[in-house]
């Protein structure tokens, strides 16, 4: 948010799509329960709020985790924490796909029975970056075939390649839709806090902005559609790239000196 404010003065929402995820937005001081009754609550300007978005849904039934989400959560280093992050972040998307693939293998729906699938059984062996390769649209999905051969020692048939690509698309699209909904909600809150109602500016940074542009575009399209359904003006998204949040931190540190 700091970097985007430095470049575009009306930024009101910032998203980080990285190994983990987070978001911030500007809120009216009077609407923040944690500072109610303090001198800050009557502060005339808006205050930046760190949403800790990774933990969204912990105390509600808003999310609908699947059996694969529950498995990843149970086997993680922080069970019952950061459920939303485990459904959408770079660290976990590849692992969701790997769990889908292994279940399809167990059901004998994927790969030959005698295929060497030892690599697929190793946790986090399917990197989220592989999902970019899965956007392959060639007739025989050659890039997908080469990836499965080189990284997993699996000689996949064309049907197998289509299945793996479909599993990646499902996991990626769900994550993008969830992040789009979160972005739309933050745009609504930020717009409500504005004195002059202008279109919200949303900054997006982190590894996923460069690693998976389909994910980012789907998120933006989803957020835009939801915001317009709310009757609000169409937001503008500024994609700052992988280092946007680190550059912002450097600017903030320099401003304090």
State the CATH number of the domain containing residue 80. Answer: 3.40.367.20
Domain that holds residue 105: 9-257
Could you identify the residue written with the tokens 């800790």? 52
pLDDT digits (tens, 9 = 90+) for 64-121: 999 999 999 999 999 999 999 999 999 999 999 999 999 999 999 999 988 999 999 9
Residue 4 domain-assigned (yes or no): no
The answer to whether residue 63 is domain-embedded is yes
For 17-27, how does the pLDDT look when each residue is reduced to its tens digit (9 = 90+)? 999 999 999 98
Rg of the chain taking only CA atoms, in angstroms: 21
Give the pLDDT mean for 179-186.
97
Q: Is the dihedral of CA 60, 61, 64, 65 positive or negative?
A: positive
Rounded CA separation 110/102 (Å)? 9
Is 17 domain-assigned? yes
Q: Is the residue at 179 inside a domain?
A: yes
Is residue 1 in a domain?
no
Q: Could you tell me if residue 255 is inside a domain?
A: yes
Domain count, the chain: 1
Q: What is the pTM of this model?
A: 0.88
Cα-based distances in Å from 212 to 89, 131, 172 = 12, 7, 9
Query: What pLDDT is attached to residue 10?
Result: 78
Q: Which residue has 């709020």 as its token pair?
A: 49
204 φ, ψ (degrees, to nearest 5): -130, 125
**Is residue 120 one of the residues assigned to a domain?**
yes
Predicted confidence band at 32 (pLDDT cuts at 50, 70, 90)? confident
Phi, psi of 234 (to 5 degrees): -60, 125
Q: Is residue 2 part of a domain?
A: no
CA dihedral 194, 246, 80, 96 (to 10 degrees): 110
């Amino acid at each position: 948010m700091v970097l985007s404010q430095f470049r575009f003065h009306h930024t009101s929402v910032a998203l980080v799509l990285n190994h983990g995820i987070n978001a911030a937005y500007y809120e009216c001081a009077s609407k923040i329960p944690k500072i109610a009754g303090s001198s800050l609550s009557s502060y005339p300007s808006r205050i930046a709020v760190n949403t800790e978005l990774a933990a969204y849904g912990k105390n509600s039934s808003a999310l609908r985790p699947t059996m694969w989400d529950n498995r990843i959560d149970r086997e993680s280093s922080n069970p019952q924490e950061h459920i939303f992050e485990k459904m959408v972040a770079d660290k976990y998307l590849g692992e969701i796909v790997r769990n889908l693939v292994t279940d399809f293998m167990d059901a004998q729906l994927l790969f030959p029975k005698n295929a060497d699938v030892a690599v697929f059984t190793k946790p986090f062996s399917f990197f989220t970056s592989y999902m970019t390769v899965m956007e392959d649209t060639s007739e025989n999905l050659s890039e997908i075939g080469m990836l499965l051969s080189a990284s997993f020692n699996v000689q996949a048939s064309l049907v197998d390649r289509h299945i793996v690509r479909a599993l990646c698309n499902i996991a990626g699209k769900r994550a993008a839709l969830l992040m789009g909904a979160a972005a739309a909600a933050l745009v609504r809150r930020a717009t409500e806090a504005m004195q002059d109602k202008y279109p919200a500016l949303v900054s997006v940074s982190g590894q996923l902005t460069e690693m998976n542009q389909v994910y980012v575009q789907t998120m933006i399209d989803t957020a835009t559609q939801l915001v317009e359904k709310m009757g609000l003006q169409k937001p503008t998204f500024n994609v700052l790239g992988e280092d946007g949040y680190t550059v912002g931190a450097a600017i903030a540190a320099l401003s304090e000196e």
